[in-house]
Amino acid sequence: MQYSKKVLKHFKDPHNQGVIKNADAVGEAGNLKCGDIMKIYLKIKSPLDKGGWGDYFIKDIKFETLGCAAAIAVSSALTDMVKGMALDEAMKLTKDKIVEELDGLPPIKIHCSMLGLEALHTAINEYKS
């Protein structure tokens, strides 16, 4: 199985890894078949904090992932991509954009990008409710 240089870089030196104490929202996703588990922590900044009526946005994001190199790389790249993004914009992110950001994933590892999105969407939906 061949990984891109970007996948290996994110795997060896993941960005935004860790926990946010007192997170505004937490989302978790897992795959029983492969054993990957991802947990996403969000700190949200509201429009009032910005002094206007704009969208709520992701002020900070961290992750904990137990899984393969692809799962860790997806978590790292995903958190980089959505940090500072409006919640509605982050909900529109697709697995294809994550895979593209990593310069591809082996077909058998594409499901990792779906787990990352599922954890992110769960956290955002938790915050919105």
Contacts of 67 (CB under 8 A, 6+ apart): 34, 35, 36, 37, 38, 112
112 a catalytic residue: yes
For residue 111, how many other CB atoms are within 10 A of its CB? 17
68 a catalytic residue: no
Run of H or E including 41: strand 37-45
Tell which residue, 31, 18, 3, has the closest CA to residue 103. Answer: 3
Contacts of 32 (CB under 8 A, 6+ apart): none
Catalytic entry in 26, 87, 93, 112 = 112
Catalytic entry in 34, 68, 81, 91 = 34
**Catalytic positions, written as ranges:** 34, 112
